[in-house]
Structures are given as structure tokens and as C-alpha cells.
Structure 1
Amino acid sequence: MTLKHISLIIFLLVFGRAFSQDEATNSEKGHTYEANWESIRSRYKIPDWFRDAKFGIFIHWGPYAVPAKGDEKYPKYMYYKDHIKKDGFNTYEYHQKTYGNHKEFGYKDFIPMFKAKKFKAEKWARLFKKSGARYVVPVAEHHDAFAMYNSNYTRWNAVNMGPKKDILGALAEAVRKQGIKFGTSSHLANWRNYYWKKTEYDNSNTEYVDLYWKPVKNKSKPSQEFLDTWWNRTTDIIDQYQPDLLWFDFGLDKPGFESVHSKILSYYYNKGEIWNKEVVFQNKNMRNVSFPEDLIVLDIERGRMDNIFKYPWQTDTSVGYKSWGYIDNEDYKTSNYLIDELIDIVSKNGCLLLNIGPKADGTIPQESVKILTEIGDWLKINGEAIYDTRPWLVYGEGPTQVNKGHHSEKKNKVFTSQDVRFTQKKGVLYATVLDWPKDNVFTIKTLSKLSKVDDRSISSVEFISGKNKINWSQTNHYLTINIKGKSPCKAAYVFKIEFKN
């Protein structure tokens, strides 16, 4: 072997080793997903931590909490003369009467009033833990474009103005200390949020264009300048706060955002690899072409599925019927209603992301505290039928049908004692009845001896929700459970069922 051959072999060995090390380093850093669906599909799956979690808290909080009127879209409708809410409230007129001319007092002028002096991230996190939530998702930036974090790309942020503290960072630290997963949401893709007039409003002043953006025509697509802004601000959130979950609103589904879809998904999933943790990306998928269903978690706003969905999914809804942010005349739901909703969602392979709207001073309204506490009390007793479970052969039985799709919750009726929802875990079946029957007798047709769903013989029935004595029998037509005494808890009642084989 000549010296030339030996030199060549040494070169190849050294080069090959260096190449392998670089390749290994890239793999360790998580550079595994390319910006196309095939590459992402080859490796990604929805993590079990999300499928097990079932219940999360959403937080809509920003300068729109200062006026506390209308809803969280106050910054949009305060500039729109002709918009009247269903309850007759006209945001434009209210603003003019309360705060004066729109040119002198615009949305920007609420920001110095948004001081959040009573905000205590640790106190919030303890409440979320008490509620039984396993993930928390604060809004990083809403349609108003005010960043609730230490942004590197906009001066209009909570560190520079208003609270003058990193709200998102404080919540991330406090929530994670409680052992709860931390997510963030972005609503910035709605670049047509504000209504412009040439001289009538303060948003005609070019000094504030970085908050209000530029006038655009209706139905126009976002400019490349806006897409670049969106990308920088979104990746800034990802890089700084390393969220376990990333949530996007309807805007990302609008025409013109197609170029960033696979790009942002691969960017975030690669970051998850670098951080060595499993992450979740959520989107509304209104146009059904934005993101493949198997690569993200579909989020349904104020609505649900009407049957078991083959992929994990999520409902986002709020403790109130009127608004996502705090308003002083909110119409609050009951914890009973929301617990039933959680049970129904989980039986269909979903999770519930329940929103609260804190006040401008940083306190959580007592109505919200009460609701979260009562949900937590129910989950302490009955949580084994919710957490870590999977759908059964059917989601349930009963006369009350749920409407499917976005913004369908207002059409749903209250559940009855005939409505039952099923979940399963480790070979055990859980049957949750959504109301207490007047005669104390629970009947479940799906678990009869002649059931077309599962006709196995039952070996045991245990009442999870209380210490009441029970008698049960499995006949050709029903599983019948007779309970002694009064209802031991509110909302819904869980039975743990095991089969002989």
C-alpha cells in the first residue's frame, strides 16, 4: 500500500468520523422535521401526556380588561360605529361617552391603565392546581397585538408598558412549579383587527402603526411584511418560553397563510426535539386544508364532537357565555354544566380547555374561582374516570344529543339522569351518569346481558362518587344500580365496572 493510499484512507476515516459526529449532533439537537407533511408524519405523534391530561385552563388577559365592557374584542369594535352586540351594547358609543374622542383616547391609552398591581402568578397557579387542570395556556398576544411577554419584536409589550413585568414568564415559572404543563396561544394572525379612518381615529397616526398595523382592504391577504412580523413574533414566543403546547386562533386558517403552515409546524416540533420534550400544536382548521388532522390537535371553539373522533381533539370554551376577557356583566355558566361538558368531551377522545378572564388589576373574579374550585372538588373524587382514560367502544347512551362544530354550544340541552358517558383504563370501564335519578335507580342499557355493544357478564360494580351502599343486577335489558341515601356530590356520578372475562 502506497503512502498516497494510506493518506487517502486516513482522510476518509477522519472526514467520515467528523461527518458522523455532525450528523449525531444534528440528531441530538432535533433537526429531524423538514417543512413538509410527509417528513413530519414520519416521526410525530400526539404525546400521551396530552391525551392523559383531559383538562386545561385558558387565560384571556390584556388591556381590554380595563374597560371591562362588551367583550375581549373591545379594541376592534370601539372603532366601528355600526357594530351592535346582541344585547344592544354599542362599543363605539360607549367608548366615546366614557373616554372621549377616538382620536384623543384610542386603544393604546388603555395600556398605561393596565397595571395588574394585584397579579400573583403563584396564587393563580395554586388555584389551577386545585381545579385539577393539568395544562395552562395564557394568551401571549390577542388580536389587539399587545404582547403579554418580553417581546424582542414590538415595543407594545407588558415589560415595557402597563404591568411592566413579563406576565408570560411569571406564569410559566409558577405553573411549572406546580407540575402543570405550560402552553401559550397566539391570535396575532388577525391582521385586520382594527377599523381605520383617515383622520377620525388615533390609529391613523403613523406613530402607532406598529400596534394598529396598516389599513388593509377587506378580504385581502396578509402582506409579506406582515407574514415576516408574524413569524418573528411567533418564533420569539417559542424560543423564549419553550411551551409544551402552542395554540392558534382562526386567523392562521385564512387565505394567505399557507406558506407558513408546514414551516411553523416543523420549526416547533424540531424545537421540541431540542428541548427533549413532547409538544402539542393546536389549530382550528376551519378550512380543512390548513394542517393535516393527524399532525396536530384540532381545537373546536365553543363546540364539541358528536361522536368519538379518531384523533385526540380539544374544546376551548369559557366560564361565561358572553366574553373571553373579563367584563363586569358576564353571564357565568354553572360548574355542573361545565363538569358535564368535560365528561362528554373526554368520552369522545377530547380534552377541555376552559377559559377565565382576570380583571385588569390581576385578580381572578370570584365567580371563576368558585367554578374552578367546584370542578376541582368533583375531580378529586371522580378523577379516575377522567384522567389517563381512553374512549370505550361507544361514547355513551341517552336522549340528549350534542351538536357538532364551532360555536354550537348554545344549541345544546341540559343532560339528564338517562345520559351516560363511558371511558376505560387498564381493562376497567367507567360509566358516568350525568344527573341523579329521582328514584335513586340508575339504569344503563348498553351494559345489559343482551347488549349489542358488549354482552360480557359483569363481575363487580363500584360507586366511585360516594360511600353509599349499592345493589346492582345485570338483566337482559339493563344494568340496574340502586343506591341508598342521598346524592353524595354534585354534577355527575361515576361507577367503576369490571367484567368476568
Structure 2
Amino acid sequence: MNKTMYSVITCALLLTANTAQAQDYQLKVSEAQQPMDKGKYEPTWESLRQYETPEWFRNAKFGIWAHWGPQCVEGSGDWMAREMYMEGTAKYNHHRKHYGHQSEFGFKDVLPLFKAENWNPEKLVRFYKDIGAEYFFALGNHHDNFDLWDSQYQEWNSMNIGPKRDILGEWAAAAQKAGLPFGISFHADHAWMWYEPSRRFDLKGDMRGVKYDGWLTKEDGYKPNADGTEKWWKGLDPQNLYAQNHDMSSKMWDNGGIHSQWGWAGGAIMPTEEYVTNFYNRTLDAINRYSPDLIYFDVTVLPFYPISDAGMKITAHMYNHHLKTRTATRIKNGNNPDPGVVFGKILSDNQKEALVWDVERGAPNKIMERPWQCCNCLGDWHYNTSTYEHGRYKSAATVVKLLVDIVSKNGNMLLSVPLRADGTFDEKEEAILKEFGAWMKVNKESIVGTRPWRTFGEGPIADSDIAINAQGFNDGQYTKAGADEIRFTSKGNVIYATALAWPDNMTVNIRSLATEKIKSIELLGYGKVKFTQTNDKLTVPLPKKVNTIAPVLKIR
């Protein structure tokens, strides 16, 4: 059966599969090189639904993510290694202007420019902890398929090319020294489709019809350059990076078509068992080396689900491995074992029992029964010079609004802080983070270690029906919150009420606390304050502004 026919049949099967129950996988990974750890968890939904979210994660509430790799080199933002091959786009034009045509200088040639020359992981992680982070995430690989460690199964990695450093190993050591649980995100499973534009060619202009470098093979590296010199990548196979030695998906010339194929349907060309096993091997290699406490996948449910058992096996391995190594619990809770945390997106209710649900750039508008996480970003996911130049970063006040809202609904917030290619953040990011950190230093007790109260909040936004779009993508609604939006958390007999901005008249009115028996109220950062209650509201006059962002009332 040819690949195209195989893909059509497989996609048809996917469209009718019950993704919450499907077990008859078309692609089964080999464990010959990386055996899955055996133990309490097996790679089935029934077994994985034994999972209980660790208390340390429930208490943590706030983490920081270094979503950082070679795509930061050009400073043109997220997905640049894909969009640099899309003729006429801003990233294509930027690359061609500054680096040359994509047939002659492709993303493989960007990799050696990723030097990380000013990167100090210990200093960065210590700073993140100082501003309130309770866990830390690093990028293991992105859709660009470049491994940021001394990878056994991917020759295109940060020890061979660019920094010549074990990025993950140094991040892991820095997190351990700071006493923070360590997470790794893996995104390379989708390189199969994501890099398809690297096999396009210009449709107009002076290079019309000239194929981009996604067609290159290992043999091409042994051919000398036009001036007789050797190619820098001699001995490496570009197809181990671009992964394009296969038929193309039905929408490979549609710049936005990948989104309808993200779940391995809609005309996507199915990957091979070799490709799926390679991702499995790489992921287990990183888990076994660095014993992360959390792993994140930028996928629907799990990697290659439901066409392969790869994601299920990785999850079972992670849980069993963590139960043995207990990395986070040694830091947080003595010697009590826990299975760690694995995140998945667009989950069914049953799947949310086996994984922690991740919502990208958004939140549900109710308290969730099980802990969940929102991943968001201070600016663009990869460093974007335009975001810096035009002041498009989230403000410290916006970060606080999102965090408080998320925590009130039983969630955690993972905030990505873009780094430049040299491994540093810019002065605008630093100022925002320091302002956020100053607010956290005073008000952290209303965030860390709390649980939802009876209701998550009140106000025009809280009372609205705000839908999640696909993975999330509704955070713009919450950034509009003003002083009339109140969010609640609790800890023992204490209720924390946060107004998401300072009221102009310096008075907080809270309907939900009108009839509660209140002993005292304290404005965090100030002290006890007066209050009055009527049948319809609690009124608290605020004596002064104690920060630039939002007041938090501690109510006994």
C-alpha cells in the first residue's frame, strides 16, 4: 500500500474513532532502545486514571517557562522555522533580507548562530524564584526538531551544534540548586507536518521554482560549496532535522492548514513507526537523564494520539519513573512518592482524570473540580524584536489579573518569559517581572497553597459565559478586568478577596460576602481595615494604595 493510500485510510479511521477509548493503535513504538519503566501505571486509560495530582503542584500555583531555543536567533517570533519558508510572510522576508534565500541558507544554517553566549541558568532560575515562581520549565525541543541536550537519538542537538552545551542538563541543575520542581516541554512530534513548507519553492521573483533546503539529504553534504569549501554540516542528515522524506499532507501549501490537521486527521500524512519511535526514544532519554517533575506536550491529548501508543507509553513511563525517583517530593514533601505531572490539551472528562489539563492562553469561567494549568506568555512564545520595540508585552498588572483569576478556579499559571538568543531577557521584561515580583512578595499568601472558595468570583466578566476556543485562547477577555471584578481563594478559615484593579473611589464592594460572619479584614501590605455589612454587600474602604496593581483583602 502506498503512503498516500495508507494516509487516506488512516485518517478515515481517525474521524470515527472514540479518542477517549481508542486502544487499537496503527503505529506501535518499539521499546528495544528505551524500555518503558514498569510499575503501578500501564499505558491504558483505565490504568492512567488512577492518577492523583500531587499536592506540591496544587500548592505551587505559579511557574516560569524558558521557551527558548534557536528560533530566537532572528528575533522574528514564534514558529519562525516554519514561516521562514512561507513566501511573502514577514518571517520569510526578514530571513531572506538578512540571511539569504531559503534554498541556500535554511533553518539548519540558523542553528550554529544559536550561541547562548550570555546564558547563566543559575542566575535566571534564582531570579525566577525570587519573583514568586514555585516551579520552572525548560524547552526540551520545539517543532523545529532540535534537541536542547546531548541527545542520543537526534544528531541535531545543542551539544553538537551552536552552544555546544547541554542546555537541559544545566537548567535541571539550576532548578535543583534553587529547590524548584523541574519541567520539560516536548514539541518535536509535529515536525513531520510543521516543516512541510521547507519543501516548497518560490512562486514568483528571481528565485522562482528554486526548491528550499528541506529537500537536502546527507549525501548533499559531501558535495563541496561553489567555492570548493566543505559544507559545515557535512556528515549530518538534514532529513533528521526536517523529517520531510515522505509524501506531503493535503494542505502543505495552505499556510494555516496545519491547524485542522494537528490531531493527525484532516488530510495529514501519517508518520512512520520509525519516526514515532524516535520521538519516544528521545523523550524517554530526557526523562531518564534529568528526572523532570513535570512534562508538557503541545498536542491534542498526547503525542501521536490516537494513531500510536507512543504518548500513552511516555506517560506511564513518566509516572512510574517519578514514583521511583521522587524528585519533586524530595524537595517539597520529604520522602512521600508521587507520579509527577503530565499535561495534555483538549481533553475529555475521562482523560482529565489521567492527565492534568493544560489551557493555552485562556481559562474556563468556573471552578474546575480537578487541578489544571494555563500556559501563557509575557510576549511572543519565541523572542520577537517587534514585541520589544512596540511595547507589546503583558504588563505586570495583566499577569496578576490572569494569575489571580486562574488560581480562583483551581488552576496554576505557567508564564513563558522569552529570552534572546544569547540567553538573556531584555530590560523591559526585567522591569515587568520585578514589578510583578514586588506584588507577589506582599500578596503571595493569597496565591500559593490556597484552594478555591465557594465561588471563584463576581463581576461582569465572572458573570459572563466566556467560551474556550480549541486549546484556550480566550485570555483577552480576562485582561479587561477592572476593580469591579473580585476573585476569591481560601486557606483554612481565611478568605482572600482580590479586586483585579484599584477602585477609583478606594472602596471595595463585595456582594458574595454580605452575610458572612466576619471577624476581621486585613489589607495585605498595610494591616487591619474597617468594614461594614448590609444585606446586599460587604463594603471595605481602602486607606491607601500599597502597590501599583491590585489590593488583596485577607478576611477572617
- Which whole-Å CA distance do the structure 1 matches of 2:150 and 2:360 have between them? 28
Alignment match, 1:217: 248
Q: What is the CA distance between 1:247 and its match in structure 2?
A: 0.5
One-letter amino acid matched to 1:464: L
SS where residue 174 of structure 1 aligns? helix
Q: What is the CA distance between 1:258 and its match in structure 2?
A: 4.0
Contact 1:55 1:134 in 2 (8 A): yes
The CA deviation string for residues 450-495 of structure 1, in whole angstroms up to 9 with x for no partner, is xxxxxx421111111324x6211122111111122x3110211111
Q: Between Structure 1 and Structure 2, whose CA radius of gyration is higher?
A: 1
Alignment match, 1:422: 488
1:231 aligns with 2:262: no
1:333 aligns with 2:394: yes
Alignment match, 2:414: 353
1:76 aligns with 2:117: no
SS where residue 341 of structure 1 aligns? helix
Q: What is the CA distance between 1:255 and its match in structure 2?
A: 5.5
1:487 aligns with 2:548: no
| C-alpha spacing 1:172/1:257, structure 2 compared with 1 (3 Å) | farther
Alignment match, 2:73: 66
- The aligned runs of 1:100-119 (5 Å cut-off) are 100-119=100-119
Q: What is the CA distance between 1:221 and its match in structure 2?
A: 2.0
- The aligned runs of 1:301-340 (5 Å cut-off) are 301-320=360-379, 323-330=380-387, 331-340=392-401
Alignment match, 1:453: none
The CA deviation string for residues 371-412 of structure 1, in whole angstroms up to 9 with x for no partner, is 222222111101111000000110011112473421122344
One-letter amino acid matched to 2:285: D
Alignment match, 1:477: 536
1:465 aligns with 2:525: yes
- Which whole-Å CA distance do the structure 1 matches of 2:311 and 2:348 have between them? 13
1:38 aligns with 2:81: no
SS where residue 329 of structure 1 aligns? helix
| C-alpha spacing 1:339/1:216, structure 2 compared with 1 (3 Å) | farther
Alignment match, 2:56: 49
Contact 2:344 2:355 in 1 (8 A): no
Q: What is the CA distance between 1:257 and its match in structure 2?
A: 4.0
One-letter amino acid matched to 1:46: T
Contact 1:176 1:182 in 2 (8 A): yes
Contact 1:400 1:413 in 2 (8 A): no
Contact 1:358 1:364 in 2 (8 A): yes
One-letter amino acid matched to 1:292: Q
| C-alpha spacing 1:354/1:260, structure 2 compared with 1 (3 Å) | same
One-letter amino acid matched to 1:165: R
Count of matched residue positions in the alignment of Structure 1 and Structure 2: 451
Contact 2:114 2:162 in 1 (8 A): yes
Alignment match, 1:151: 151
Q: RMSD across aligned C-alpha pairs, in angstroms? A: 1.9
- Which whole-Å CA distance do the structure 1 matches of 2:247 and 2:325 have between them? 39
One-letter amino acid matched to 1:210: N
| C-alpha spacing 1:460/1:249, structure 2 compared with 1 (3 Å) | same
Q: What is the CA distance between 1:30 and its match in structure 2?
A: 6.8
Alignment match, 1:436: 502
- Which whole-Å CA distance do the structure 2 matches of 1:360 and 1:163 have between them? 10
One-letter amino acid matched to 1:461: I
Alignment match, 1:18: none
- Which whole-Å CA distance do the structure 2 matches of 1:413 and 1:373 have between them? 19
Deviation larger for 58-67 or 191-200:
191-200
Alignment match, 1:410: 476
TM-score w.r.t. length of structure 1: 0.86
1:192 aligns with 2:249: no
- Which whole-Å CA distance do the structure 2 matches of 1:261 and 1:146 have between them? 19
Contact 2:182 2:292 in 1 (8 A): yes
SS where residue 495 of structure 1 aligns? strand
Deviation larger for 473-482 or 310-319:
473-482
One-letter amino acid matched to 1:326: Y
Contact 1:61 1:358 in 2 (8 A): yes
Contact 1:303 1:404 in 2 (8 A): no
The CA deviation string for residues 216-260 of structure 1, in whole angstroms up to 9 with x for no partner, is 422122221111111111111111110000100026466654422
Contact 2:514 2:537 in 1 (8 A): yes
- Which whole-Å CA distance do the structure 1 matches of 2:475 and 2:532 have between them? 36
SS where residue 136 of structure 2 aligns? strand
The CA deviation string for residues 398-446 of structure 1, in whole angstroms up to 9 with x for no partner, is 1124734211223445212111111111221111111112222211110
TM-score w.r.t. length of structure 2: 0.78
The CA deviation string for residues 137-191 of structure 1, in whole angstroms up to 9 with x for no partner, is 1110000011111111111111111001111111111122111111100001212
What stretches of structure 2 of length at least 5 have no aligned partner?
Answer: 1-36, 202-209, 219-237, 250-267, 327-336
Alignment match, 2:320: 270
- Which whole-Å CA distance do the structure 1 matches of 2:445 and 2:481 have between them? 21
Contact 1:265 1:281 in 2 (8 A): no
Contact 1:221 1:256 in 2 (8 A): no
- Which whole-Å CA distance do the structure 1 matches of 2:537 and 2:147 have between them? 56
Alignment match, 1:248: 297
Contact 1:253 1:285 in 2 (8 A): no
- The aligned runs of 1:198-213 (5 Å cut-off) are 200-207=211-218, 208-213=238-243
Contact 1:46 1:295 in 2 (8 A): no
| C-alpha spacing 1:287/1:393, structure 2 compared with 1 (3 Å) | closer
What stretches of structure 1 of length at least 5 have no aligned partner?
Answer: 1-28, 85-89, 450-455
One-letter amino acid matched to 2:553: F
Alignment match, 2:233: none
- Which whole-Å CA distance do the structure 1 matches of 2:107 and 2:367 have between them? 43
The CA deviation string for residues 31-83 of structure 1, in whole angstroms up to 9 with x for no partner, is 222222222333x20000000000001111111111111x221110111225x
| C-alpha spacing 1:253/1:410, structure 2 compared with 1 (3 Å) | farther
The CA deviation string for residues 94-124 of structure 1, in whole angstroms up to 9 with x for no partner, is 2222211212111011111111111111111
SS where residue 346 of structure 1 aligns? helix
Contact 1:253 1:287 in 2 (8 A): no
The CA deviation string for residues 309-337 of structure 1, in whole angstroms up to 9 with x for no partner, is 111011111001xx201111111110001
| C-alpha spacing 1:412/1:483, structure 2 compared with 1 (3 Å) | closer
Alignment match, 2:404: 343
One-letter amino acid matched to 2:145: A
SS where residue 293 of structure 1 aligns? helix
- The percent of aligned pairs where both chains have the same amino acid is 37
